Chains A and B, each alone.
Chain A
Amino acid sequence: MEHTTMTTKLISLHNAIKKYVHDGDLLYASGFTHLIPFAAGHEIIRQGIKDLVLARATPDLIYDQMVAAGCARKVIFSYIGNPGVGSLRMVRAGIEKGELEWEEYSHFSMISRLQAGASGLPFMPMKQTGAADLMKHNPQYQQVTDPYTGECVIVVPPLKPDVAIVHVQRSDAQGNAHVWGILGEQRLAAFAAQHVILTAEEIVDEAVIRSDPNRTLIPGLVVDAVCHVPYCAHPSYTQGYHDRDNDFYLAWDEISKTDEGIQAYLKEWVYDLPDRQAYWEKLGPEVHQRLHAGERLSAPVNYGEY
């Protein structure tokens, strides 16, 4: 019997960025400390894309680098810090100098915006926090009366990125993806966005995905492009594949102290390299060894034969 073959969504990261990320777009590169798609950020920098509105709960080094490279007009965030280290110098300087627009939330209200966007709702309600100062400065926060109790609840509008970039451990060629470890806002970002670029450590056969459907957090039906990008998340990490490079997070604090330092970094590690494979090779065996993840397998589950 003849089978029709499904069209593959496999495409290079270079081509995916070219096709789906445009000047002025609202971009959400997802991942809460885990699975941050740095390779995609670097590719956007290389392609010289401008005026982006960069949304992330924690802009992290990926947006600090993109802001430094002149890709951003505005940031939407809930915590601007270098996690575990200190200040996020470029984003902070941009705000302090008035060169970068910003829109600010708490983690929960930021994630609630994605939840509204991902669920097709006009807003998400949340309980009172009593912290009125941020609400005063950000008119996206509103209050409505709960029709059932008469009490006041805070509401935030949906966040609907033009493009979400989501890194995962493994995906099939259609973008059905298994994710484990810290899940952050990966799934919400994928469902909230107009277009989704998926980057994966491994491209696997559909049968691997079907062997454990509960682990499929992102279904191919919301995915536009699937890119095979091992080590995409460095200097953040991918659970079970490589560790977080805390040394680099510390190093960035030094690098980002001066404009020369940043420009030298961008030249050496972004502009002068063609892709993530070259970047990973350039990091060298010592770093590879230091970030090695080791093995701790889960107990298998029985889905049953029916």
Chain B
Amino acid sequence: MEEIEYNPQELMVVNAARLLRDGDVVFVGVGIPNLACNLAMRTHAPNLQMIYEAGVIGAQPARLPLSIGDPSLVTGALSVCSMYDIFTLYLQRGNVDVGFLGGAQIDQFGNINATVIGDYAHPKVRLPGSGGSMEIAAWANRCYIITPHQKRRFPARVDFRTSIGFLTGGDARAKTGVRGGGPEAIVTNLGLMKPDETGELVLTALHPGIQFEQVQENTGWAIRQAPNCETTAPPNPEELRILREELDPQRIYI
């Protein structure tokens, strides 16, 4: 069989796209999540609905959007509303199935830090902060995180909890009364992690050719491998063709 070559970005986009279900309403950012949604739409999820935090519903951008408020998101969209409306009528009300999140640190229980490394008042590194992620993490029915697998990105505990995962595990998240279900999967360049029944992230799939040891080396806690840990199917030629020829021909994000 012919060996298909792909890079880590393509691998993550393809695996994130496969997590989306037809008919999902997705709160999406630019970059990799945007590519994942568009790929899902062109393959198994033609009825996916994309919502951007800038207030755009049903965008059909004619070019690859380079910022969250790109004008190409508006031209030809189904609807455009204010930021207050997008966060209340859509997100807070419970009309969003999937949120995509990212951050500098993700911990053992899927909590995210996008705010600061070091002390908040005297930051060693000041990061961008929440943006929309605090509410997306709390209120979307389910969340996905796409990030490269590096030890510094996966500490046992985050320096600052910008967005909620499963807090300290168990029923800690449920006790806060947040409406959404929390992180459902973390897609990295090495594999997939999902929360177990206590909310702790465990390795549930490895990408082709990756060993569990590589995951452990790049994770800041003693990560467990799920007993039924699978191997993901490699990106197929059609997925790669859509990504390379239709979605990101200039290879900006892949």
Interface on A for B, CB 8 Å cutoff?
A: 32-34, 57-58, 77-81, 83-84, 87-88, 92, 95-96, 98, 104-109, 111-112, 114-115, 126-134, 137, 151-152, 180-188, 237, 239, 243-244, 246, 249, 293, 296
Task: Chain A residues near B173: list those with CB within 8 A.
Answer: 130
Point out the residue from A34, A132, A185, A296 that lies within 8 Å of B161, measured CB to CB: A132
If A98-B122, A128-B178 touch, whether A108 touches B54 (CB-CB below 8 Å) is no
| B126 and A237 form a contact (CB under 8 A) | no
CB within 8 Å: A-B pair count: 168
9 A-B contacts (beta carbon < 8 Å): A33-B54, A33-B67, A83-B69, A107-B83, A107-B131, A126-B135, A127-B138, A128-B176, A188-B82
Chain B interface, >50% SS class: loop
Binary per-residue interface labels of chain B (159-202) against chain A in the complex, 1 for a CB within 8 Å, 0 otherwise: 01111100100000100111100000000000000000000000
| A184 and B126 form a contact (CB under 8 A) | no
**How many angstroms between the C-alpha atoms of A81 and B133 in the bound complex?**
14
Residue B139 at the chain A interface, CB threshold 8 Å? yes
Known A33-B67, A239-B74, A249-B67; 20 more pairs at CB < 8 Å = A32-B54, A33-B68, A80-B128, A83-B68, A92-B126, A95-B123, A98-B122, A111-B87, A114-B84, A126-B92, A127-B179, A129-B164, A130-B176, A131-B138, A134-B162, A137-B120, A151-B177, A152-B177, A182-B54, A182-B74
Task: Chain A residues near B80: list those with CB within 8 A.
Answer: 180-183
What number of B residues sit within 8 Å (CB to CB) of A? 54
Interface on B for A, CB 8 Å cutoff?
A: 30-31, 53-56, 66-71, 73-76, 80-84, 87, 91-92, 115, 120-126, 128-135, 137-139, 160-164, 167, 173, 176-179
| A184 and B54 form a contact (CB under 8 A) | yes
